[in-house]
Structure 1
Amino acid sequence: MSKFGVSAQAMLAAVFGAAIMGSAVVVPKLFSPEAGAQPIAIQPPPGAPMSFADLIEKVEPAVVSVNVISTQDVSELGDMDQFFEQFRGMPGLEDFFEQRRQQQEQESPRTREARSLGSGFFISQDGLVVTNNHVIERATQIQVVMSDGRELDAELVGTDPLTDLAVVRVKEAGAYPYVKFGSSKEIRKGDWVVALGNPFGLGGTATAGILSADGRELGAGSPYTDFLQIDAPINRGNSGGPTFDLKGNVIGVNSQILSPTGGSVGIGFAIPAELAQEVTNTLIRNGRVSRGWLGVQIGDLTPEFAEALGLEDVKGALVADVTSGSPAERGGLKRNDIILSVNGQKVTDSTSTTRLVAKLIANTQNKFDILRNGKAQTLNVTVGERPADLTAASQSSGGGGNRVDPDAPSAVPGKLLSDFGVRLLPMDDSTRDALGLRAGDTGLTITEVVKDGVFEKAGFENGIVILEANGRAVPTVDAFERAVAEARAANRSKVLLALRVGQVTNYRTVDIPK
């Protein structure tokens, strides 16, 4: 005790602001030598719990670890190929090492056993468990470990790689503790959330944080999901585990983290409960998710694109290309069409269009309201079923960026448009075939991009093919110049170009030189 009758710890607390006692913040009173210091407990703000213990105690029995044995491709053979490659062309050695390479290929195992782990949670009393697709992918054995240590063999019910969701069922009959899906739309940015799971194989771990953001799009790999972003720490092994609101409802299924190290940096992503419930119900019923398919490449109708087309206050998805023989082609959709709504439900961009089409039942006729050349039309399109092996098209950019000096003599074929800083050549048959275009498709190949020109500033490179300008086919350079002249006469500042880059058709604008 000091001569004032106060402990040294209390004096330090008075100097430095506050001490922590239990879960309440304690601020020392001003004190006198006679009375000493009396702490005052300050309660947390409304809505902030003193503890998450009651919530966790309630839901934790339904949260499980998911242990998986799977088969994976062996990659060592590719390394051996690189090793043997160095001996090619060496007299007396090439044949010997070629024989060794072939022997290695025959003897090397193509697959190996791998072990992985994740998290999951019971959604029914009879033992249905939700987890991530990437947790159980290629699984040959699945084991569910409960919070009380019980180990239960499980079997796969169904998976949906496009939303990274899966359902498994424990084989042992029983009455299991389970949790229910809630609504992610009822929580706001800044509300508390609690994540449970099996990080790094530790099992039974709870973390708390807030909803940092919602509606996160994570690129082409997740076209059907607007993720919840949470800062409750989640790590490797948390995949497939639940995120709860303070009522104990599942508002998200943990799926991804953003991290340079693989550990939590406070940015995790969960699949919203509404989507998770819809997909898991379908998996339980059918074992798979069937999605509608149009067969188009689409992009957002950005304000920049709309300005180039002379459109105002129009939202939708711009059709960049139509797959030959697809439902879209049979239904009459064409490049440069703008999809405004599907069955009366308005679309705002390519993502909302993709998700609406995905919800359509295969082989049913549906109404698409479109804008074509500035005029509204309605098409009745019978959608197909999305192929299971549909893969992202190649996005190679052709010949790369060969910038040239505009004043240097050039042997490169094509006509130079000096005001745009680009040299254009009508597309030949070999280029058309290499790009996977139809026999009748026309366009202009960029053969040179002038340094500091309009096309270079817009990011164009050699090898890109211009298919259309403001919706007009451009089989010749003259046709391109006429499309520019029309845009100029309409007082537009940009031209919208439909481009073929590798196997992908997309759009980009260029400024019209004054």
Structure 2
Amino acid sequence: MRLAKTGTTGFLVRAALAGLIVLWSAAGFAQTSSSDLRLVPQSEAQIKLSFAPIVKKVAPAVVNVYASRKVVQRQQISPFFDDPFFRRFFGQPGGGFGRPRERVESSLGSGVIISQDGTVITNHHVIKDADKVRVALSDRREFDADIVLMDERTDLAVLKIKADGPFEHVEFADSDNLDVGDIVLAIGNPFGVGQTVTQGIVSATARTQVGVTDFQFFIQTDAAINPGNSGGALVDMAGKLVGINTAIFSRSGGSNGIGFAIPAHMARFVADAADHGGKVQRPWLGATVQMVNSEIAEALSLDRPRGVLVTAVFEGSPAERSGLKVSDLVIAVDGKEVTDPNSFGYRFATKMIGESVEFVVLRGGKEVTLSVPLKPAPESVPRDTRELRSYSPFEGTTVMNLSPAVAEELGIEGLFEGVVIAEVERGSTADRVGLRPGDIIRGVNEQPIESTRMLEAITKAPPRVWQLEIERDGKVSQIILRG
């Protein structure tokens, strides 16, 4: 079984499907025995029950998103070009063969218009690396769109249609009010066949082991979601947006009834960031937490595993100023229960800078309420970004000095000193060596690396042998390479 993001390619063909559901009254259900639960419609109104009014309301706000990018390919020059005989027929090297050739890669997904000015929210992976983005409305009008914001950590992006409105749009629902069993509709463009509607229920409301984004907190639904639905709408029976369809569990690439949507609460947070400077700025806690398993729960005299255990509090951080301490057990954030580090991270990361949030913690068997100020991560040392081009294992990397701000941007927890790799150029020496973004460079040839300036100086005087000390995901590895 594999997890698949739901982007695809294809042509725009309009189609609309809607399911029917027969409802019976709560009173009738209570008075009916288990053998008589199947009831025929009791009135003409019940026979005509349909999701069509919801679809008519929402469908104009769901768009197809076409993303394209140019890829430059260089043909390999044949050794026959060294032969004068063949040059008579095929020209000089660089005169035809061997020239860079451009081709256009395209992808197709879905998006949702969330305001009448044409603001669209979709998935980051739908438009990743795109040079041009175009959206098609349900009435077959097409417009170019600007990319306003891209946030890979949440797999969300915000677009702006390059045309005057007003546009039909959908309102956000409070996704925290969803319950398992609620009926939902998924609207998007699966397999590029055209706009399609599927119906299902909410299967779970807080899936945290999905592995698609840095913030693991998803709505699970059995409404059919297929490739091409990425960025499409998951709506409730009021026609409001409860989630952005993002991924599926699938063996074949098609729907198996296990789909995942990013909650509207997170989507609204990213959309608000686009309205305020075009950059997602998350609050910084300045503490690390860990999962509470059955052994830890027993040691803490808990009846079951719950909450997250604080393992470190950094000096001068909002966590320290609020009074949070190591060994505190955080069980709720602003009244919402947290069950693991992912749900804790989601609840905290979707709060706005400048406000405060209430933690309920268990300390010594008693509940304590703490008010935590929401502040951005500080850049305690200049990041001093440098692109390393000298011949070395680091050729093709972009490196930065670590600080809480850089660590937050790159999704690194608990590491605020040293030099981190921010980018690795594809096909570079660093790429071939196996270095990745997020790797911490702890040492080179037994010399601690304290700054990007120091690392750059070492790469300009390469030794015969490179002994690298690299930290990745909390583990330190030693790598030895020839110079």
SS for the counterpart of 2:164 is coil
Letter in 2 for 1:227: F
* Residue aligning to 1:312: 301
Assess, with a 3 A threshold, how the Cα gap between structure 1 residues 344 and 140 changes in structure 2: closer, same or farther.
closer
Q: Which structure: larger Rg?
A: 1
Deviation at 1:186, TM superposition (A): 4.4
CA contact (8 A) 1:184 1:251 kept: yes
In structure 2, how many angstroms separate the alpha carbons of the residues matched to 1:203 and 1:372? Answer: 55
Letter in 1 for 2:226: N
Deviation at 1:255, TM superposition (A): 1.0
Deviation at 1:58, TM superposition (A): 2.9
The higher-RCO structure (CA 8 Å, 6+ apart) is 2
SS for the counterpart of 2:250 is coil
CA contact (8 A) 1:191 1:211 kept: yes
* Residue aligning to 2:474: 504
CA contact (8 A) 2:308 2:338 kept: yes
Deviates more, 1:137-146 or 1:330-339: 330-339
Assess, with a 3 A threshold, how the Cα gap between structure 1 residues 202 and 284 changes in structure 2: closer, same or farther.
farther
Q: Once the two structures are superposed, what CA deviation does each residue of 1:171-192 show, in whole Å capped at 9, x if it has no partner?
A: 1113222221223344433332
Q: Once the two structures are superposed, what CA deviation does each residue of 1:381-419 show, in whole Å capped at 9, x if it has no partner?
A: 8762553642468xxxxxxxxxxxxxxxxxxxxxxxxxx
Deviation at 1:159, TM superposition (A): 2.4
In structure 2, how many angstroms separate the alpha carbons of the residues matched to 1:284 and 1:366? Answer: 22
* Residue aligning to 2:238: 247
Deviation at 1:368, TM superposition (A): 7.6
Selected match of 1:119 from 88, 93, 110:
110
CA contact (8 A) 2:150 2:158 kept: yes
* Residue aligning to 1:43: 41
CA contact (8 A) 2:216 2:343 kept: no
SS for the counterpart of 2:165 is coil
* Residue aligning to 2:250: 259
CA contact (8 A) 2:217 2:346 kept: no
Deviation at 1:293, TM superposition (A): 2.8
* Residue aligning to 2:54: 55
CA contact (8 A) 1:366 1:383 kept: no
CA contact (8 A) 1:339 1:347 kept: no
In structure 1, how many angstroms separate the alpha carbons of the residues matched to 2:46 and 2:185? Answer: 14
Assess, with a 3 A threshold, how the Cα gap between structure 1 residues 176 and 265 changes in structure 2: closer, same or farther.
same
Letter in 2 for 1:156: I
* Residue aligning to 1:177: 168
Assess, with a 3 A threshold, how the Cα gap between structure 1 residues 171 and 251 changes in structure 2: closer, same or farther.
same
CA contact (8 A) 1:233 1:265 kept: yes
Deviation at 1:341, TM superposition (A): 7.0
* Residue aligning to 2:327: 337
* Residue aligning to 1:165: 156
Q: Once the two structures are superposed, what CA deviation does each residue of 1:118-164 show, in whole Å capped at 9, x if it has no partner?
A: 10122222211121111122221110111121110111121222222
CA contact (8 A) 1:336 1:372 kept: no
In structure 1, how many angstroms separate the alpha carbons of the residues matched to 2:262 and 2:21? Answer: 34
Q: Once the two structures are superposed, what CA deviation does each residue of 1:59-97 show, in whole Å capped at 9, x if it has no partner?
A: 2222110000135798x99xx9xxxxxxxxxxxxxxxxx
- In the alignment, structure 1 residue 238 sits paired with structure 2 residue 258: no
Q: Map 1:192-341 onto structure 2 (within 5 A).
A: 192-219=183-210, 221-294=212-285, 296-307=287-298, 310-313=299-302, 316-320=307-311, 327=317, 337-340=327-330
Deviation at 1:23, TM superposition (A): 7.5
Q: Once the two structures are superposed, what CA deviation does each residue of 1:304-351 show, in whole Å capped at 9, x if it has no partner?
A: 1143xx42239542344678x894898799996335379986855423
Assess, with a 3 A threshold, how the Cα gap between structure 1 residues 341 and 44 changes in structure 2: closer, same or farther.
same
In structure 1, how many angstroms separate the alpha carbons of the residues matched to 2:183 and 2:159? Answer: 29
SS for the counterpart of 2:60 is helix
Deviation at 1:224, TM superposition (A): 3.0
CA contact (8 A) 1:165 1:280 kept: no
Selected match of 1:390 from 398, 410, 423:
410
Assess, with a 3 A threshold, how the Cα gap between structure 1 residues 70 and 391 changes in structure 2: closer, same or farther.
farther
Deviates more, 1:238-247 or 1:222-231: 222-231
Letter in 1 for 2:330: L
Q: Once the two structures are superposed, what CA deviation does each residue of 1:422-472 show, in whole Å capped at 9, x if it has no partner?
A: xxxxxxxxxx979x9x9xxxxxxxxxxxxxxxxxxxxxxxxxxxxxxxxxx
Q: Which sections of structure 2, spanning at least 5 residues, go unmatched?
A: 1-18, 23-38, 77-97, 379-404, 414-441, 449-470, 476-483
Assess, with a 3 A threshold, how the Cα gap between structure 1 residues 47 and 275 changes in structure 2: closer, same or farther.
farther
Aligned length: 341
Q: Which sections of structure 1, spanning at least 5 residues, go unmatched?
A: 1-21, 26-40, 81-106, 394-431, 439-500, 506-514
Q: Provide TM-score, normalisation by structure 1.
A: 0.54
In structure 2, how many angstroms separate the alpha carbons of the residues matched to 1:189 and 1:342? Answer: 20
Q: Provide TM-score, normalisation by structure 2.
A: 0.57
SS for the counterpart of 1:42 is coil
Q: Map 1:329-408 onto structure 2 (within 5 A).
A: 337-340=327-330, 348-359=339-350, 384=377, 386-387=405-406, 389-391=409-411
CA contact (8 A) 1:298 1:318 kept: yes
Assess, with a 3 A threshold, how the Cα gap between structure 1 residues 176 and 23 changes in structure 2: closer, same or farther.
closer
Deviation at 1:290, TM superposition (A): 0.5
Assess, with a 3 A threshold, how the Cα gap between structure 1 residues 156 and 311 changes in structure 2: closer, same or farther.
same
